Structure 1
Amino acid sequence: MIWLIGLLLVFIVHIALILLLEFRNPGKAVAWMFILFLCPPLGPVLYYFLAREYKKRKRLLHRGPVQFRSLRGQLRSQSATLETLEGMRNPEFVHQERLYRLLAHHAVNPITGGNRTEVYSSGEMAFGAMLERMEQARDHIHLEFYIFRSDMIGSAFAEVMIRKAREGVKVRMICDGLGSFKLETAFVERLKEAGVEVYFFLPPRVAVRNRRVNYRNHRKIVVVDGRIGFVGGLNVGDDYLGLYEKMGFWRDTHLQLEGDSVHYLQLTFLEDWLLASGQDLGDPALFPAHEGPGREQVQILTSGPNMTRNLIQEMCFNSIAVAKRRIWIASPYFIPDPSVYLALKTAALSGVEVIVIMPYHSDSRLVKLASLSYVEELLQAGVKFVQYTKGFIHAKVMIIDDLLASVGTANMDMRSFFYNFEMTALLFDPDTIARLESDFQQDLADSVPILPKAFAERSRWQKGLELLARLLSPLL
């Protein structure tokens, strides 16, 4: 009887600690208490290793953006950055002073000019462009991926990296420790023996020891000679070419960038390199001067648990709030935080066309259930949901009127907003927005709508599973 009372006291104390530590995030507190009730012995252990805020470690917090503050200032002075609203080339921004102030004055990276972008809507096109640019490298190649596999396309990347390293090009690669957990040691050693520098971002042992298992580097970056950059949804693996039978055709969106925006891809890579390797590569020579190859304006937004604000989430909320005509979103994982959820609902009720494309076949049963739990009420408000049936849609795209579009690594979910290291390119050029609009319309043609009446008639069992997944959604 005494031991039972002791266990009950421990249980009560743990609930009190969750309420005390998570009082700023009620959804997260409810999720952890649900886990605790579901599995009392395991709950405290999971909370200890997964729930600790990244920001509590000041050493890790300051070995990021603050470390390169001086270099960031130099880049602003030598880049074609926008200083006034009147400098925005897109006429849609004339009356968007509030959104402009948020993006231009409160984001870490400025809006840059003199850019040229290329949009790729498949892995085959994007990987071909990456490998071609890597072959042309003369000084350095920097790669950063959440997942890197040693399959056919991974081996193709490795061959280029090895060849360029032997030619004297500096080749550096970061892989996420959990996302690339299955990458074979022999594959990595072969790269290192050829002179490629490889580091894993928070490897599992380090993540467990430092209680950082829940914080992953989800960015996808390639920078060649500081002049050409790539960012978007693609990791390196044959599944991103549509070669996995289980997932079938893989639909993604990736960008090639040239211009001042590449400097901020580079800077983000160097910040992550510092965190992963401990090496400070803040050398101005990695940011070569260039003549602007284009006229597009682009902004690179980054967010992560080592930053004091959630910039990508703030951008999404504010962009949705100012929309007048349309909000088009494609995301493989749709688990919006309460503010974005309310912004989408309010926009639809106000007559704005809100369309969300999500996968019909998901790679995560739990995430799909959680996503569907948000659908019914938004359908009633007028939000249109469609499910992509041609294969698996992994693109992370948002289009707001003809005002802006975003392409990057962040999903429309709380994990991307608050837990992962993410990156998004904001695009303001009307022609680029029109290109993404064309892709979106094709995706709509390859999708089936979720009809409100049919969706409301799904089984109680299905609704129950969605409810349980919804309770866990702040942690997914």
Structure 2
Amino acid sequence: MLKKLLRFLSSRFVLIGALLMLQAYVLVMLVGGLPPIVEFILVVLGLFIVVELVNSSNNQSISITWIIIILIMPGFGSLLYLMFANRQVPKGLRSLQEQGHFDPLTVLPQDKKMLRKLEQTDAHISKQFDYILHSGSFPTYKNTQVDYYPVGEDKFASLLVELEKAEKYIFLEYFIIREGIMWNSMLDILIKKVAEGVDVRIIYDDAGTINTLPSDYKETLESYGIKVHVFNKLRPILMVSMNNRDHRKILSIDGKVGYLGGINLGDEYVNVLHRFGHWKDSAIKLEGEAVWSITVMFLQFWNVLNGVDEAFEPYNPHYTIKAKGYIQPYSDSPTDREQLGENIHLNFIINANEYLYIMTPYLIPSHEMKRMLVLASKSGVDVRIIVPHTPDKWYVHNVTQSNYAEFIDNGIRIYEYTPGFIHSKNLLADGRAGIVGSTNLDFRSYYLNYESGALMYETDAIDGMVADFEETIAASIEITREDVDKTSPFTRILRQFLGLFSTLL
């Protein structure tokens, strides 16, 4: 026990946290010791900032949070706003068009005839695919087999088989990698593939792995011949760019087989490690043309992160198989002015006709998304949302629960997954269309993180999603208005208070 405590206290997490707290303390002391005229200027500036926020087109919930901070802490709140609001990450990490310095219409061409056929089949879903194409530059594909995995164990078993088949390259990009049975089994194959001449590359996020990998793990992987980039390395400096994390979970094998979804590479995701009961997660496996978009997502990120300008076409296998349905992989960046991930979800919600089912670990919707969910329910759509019963973060779960009353009062059915923790980020509409990806229904995913996912229509994966939702609802408890009314006054006040800062969670 003592050894574990000492190891924790000497970890990078504690060291960086302590240095950040020290800087915050020094900043507060400096502001407190400013000349009265400077404090007065900051207070007046705060009033102008509040007026600007009230009249801006920014997300209303984010604006309200900053207004509260500025009004609670006059002067200091203005300084925080100037330091951390409306700041962009370094120029290299911008929109898809800028990141790889390429023409997306050339690298990711769209088959227009196929889109016209889709429009004739279903005009509503066609518009959703059109939005992603025009706003994100990601094409729609037809010749791709898509399989759905309702738990991490299924994806893990598939991964081991497909990795063994790799002949040219393996590209992995994950938020979390944890040493253990899952990752070590994969690593054994990756090391063997490097020896066979396969190009193996890995991108992992520094914040996501700060407690799961040694600080020198990059060097360890490189010693095996694996190419590695650690995304946005944490530094003990108060910088807004430290908030932008690579939350994507993507993998491409020879450009023929790819994976997307919410499953990271750690034992909890395959229920070897039980942290919060049964870990319910999901992913999709793609085989065919659409894997090219996943490959390009990785390569354009790799090019910018490593300062290279590697050509993409040599990695295109032009691999096609016959399969039913349509799929459109996409990636969302926090550094452009298009909230692609959020808009895809909003578009999906307002186009549901009969039913809309959602799985999400965190239910922290913006004001706009709340309105769309309520509007869908009031328009006769059967809206059901499944969230965890056992949370991984108590404060986030309390904000999630603070939304129950409003949703239930407007006909939306809320379920909590009693076996444990839901980590899936899935949307299903009418048994025909679905979204699987890494994007949570919260502000961090929509505005701060790099995310990935796929919009699907009538693929085989949709049938799997339908069955999974039915089974998951059966394994969950429905939250009623009576359950909400039993909440203690203290808990209600706590949830309302935490809700004020939901945009920062």
TM-score, normalised relative to structure 1:
0.90
Correspondence for 2:232? 202
State the partner residue of 1:61: 94
1:427 is displaced (CA, Å) by 1.1
User: Which of 46, 69, 74 pairs up with 2:106?
Assistant: 74
- 3-state SS, counterpart of residue 370 of structure 1: helix
Pairing 1:243–2:272 present? yes
Q: What stretches of structure 2 of length at least 5 have no aligned partner?
A: 1-31
Deviations 1:227-259 (A, max 9, x none): 110111111111112233331211111111011
TM superposition shift of 1:98: 4.0
Asked whether the equivalents of residues 177 and 265 of structure 2 are also in contact (C-alpha less than 8 Å), the reply is yes
Report whether the alignment pairs 1:441 with 2:474. Answer: no
Match of 1:12 among 28, 43, 46: 43
**Equivalent residues of 1:149, 1:180 under 8 A apart:** yes
8 Å Cα contact 2:150-2:282 kept in structure 1: yes
Residue 32 (structure 1) aligns with: 66
Pick from 261, 280, 283: which aligns with 1:254? 283
1:386 to 415, 437, 446: 415
Q: CA deviation at 1:176?
A: 0.9
The alignment-based identity, stated in percent, is 27
Relative to structure 1, the CA distance from residue 139 to residue 41 in structure 2 (aligned partners, 3 Å threshold; closer, same or farther) is: farther
Secondary structure at the residue paired with 1:185?
coil
Residue of structure 2 in register with 1:187 after alignment: 217
Query: What does 1:125-144 correspond to in 2, within 5 Å?
Result: 125-144=154-173
Q: In structure 1, which of residues 362, 365, 370 is the aligned counterpart of residue 394 of structure 2?
A: 365
- For 1:235 and 1:383, how far apart are their aligned partners in 2? 30
CA contact (8 A) 2:260 2:285 kept: yes
Structure-1 separation of matches of 2:324 and 2:177: 33
Number of positions where the alignment pairs a residue of Structure 1 with one of Structure 2: 470
Deviation by residue 1:362-404 (Cα, 9 ceiling, x = unmatched): 1111111111222211111100000001111111110111341
Question: Could you report, residue by residue, the CA deviation over 1:52-85 in whole angstroms, capped at 9, with x for unpaired residues?
Answer: 4326x544326x43354645333444x7x35465
Q: Is the 8 A contact 1:54 1:215 kept in 2?
A: no
| Maintained 8 Å contact 1:83/1:104 | no
Equivalent of residue 168 in structure 1, options 181, 197, 201: 197
The one-letter code matched in structure 2 to 1:178 is A
1:303 aligns to what? 332
Cα separation, 1, equivalents of 2:33 and 2:80? 26
Q: Does the C-alpha gap of structure 1 residues 326 and 200 become closer, same or farther in structure 2, counting only changes over 3 Å?
A: same
Tell me, what secondary structure is at the counterpart of 1:168? coil
1:40-439 equivalences under 5 Å are: 47=81, 50-54=84-88, 57-61=90-94, 64-68=96-100, 70=102, 72-77=104-109, 81-83=111-113, 85-88=115-118, 91=121, 93-94=122-123, 98-182=127-211, 183-205=213-235, 208=237, 211-429=240-458, 431-439=460-468
Cα distance change, pair 2–417 in 1 and its aligned pair in 2 (3 A): closer
CA distances 1:320-358 after superposition (whole Å, capped 9, x unpaired): 112111010000011112221111001111111000000
Compute the displacement of 1:446 (Å). 1.0
3-state secondary structure, aligned to 2:501:
helix
The 1:318–1:286 alpha-carbon spacing in structure 2 relative to 1, beyond 3 Å, is same
Q: Residue by residue, what CA displacement relative to the aligned partner does 1:24-73 show, whole Å, maximum 9, x if unpaired?
A: 34422332344466678986776566434326x544326x4335464533
Q: For residue 412 of structure 1, give the secondary structure of its aligned residue in structure 2.
A: coil
CA distance in 2, matches of 1:287, 1:281: 13
Q: Are residues 461 and 428 of structure 1, via their aligned partners in 2, closer, same or farther at CA, if it must alter by over 3 Å?
A: same
Aligned to 2:240, what secondary structure does the other structure show? coil
Secondary structure in structure 1 of the residue aligned to 2:258: strand
When residues 465 and 4 of structure 1 are mapped into structure 2, their CA distance, relative to the original with a 3 A threshold, is farther
SS of equivalent to 1:119: strand
Q: Structure 2 length as normaliser, TM-score? A: 0.85
Cα displacement (A) at 1:21 = 6.8
* Aligned-CA RMSD value: 2.8
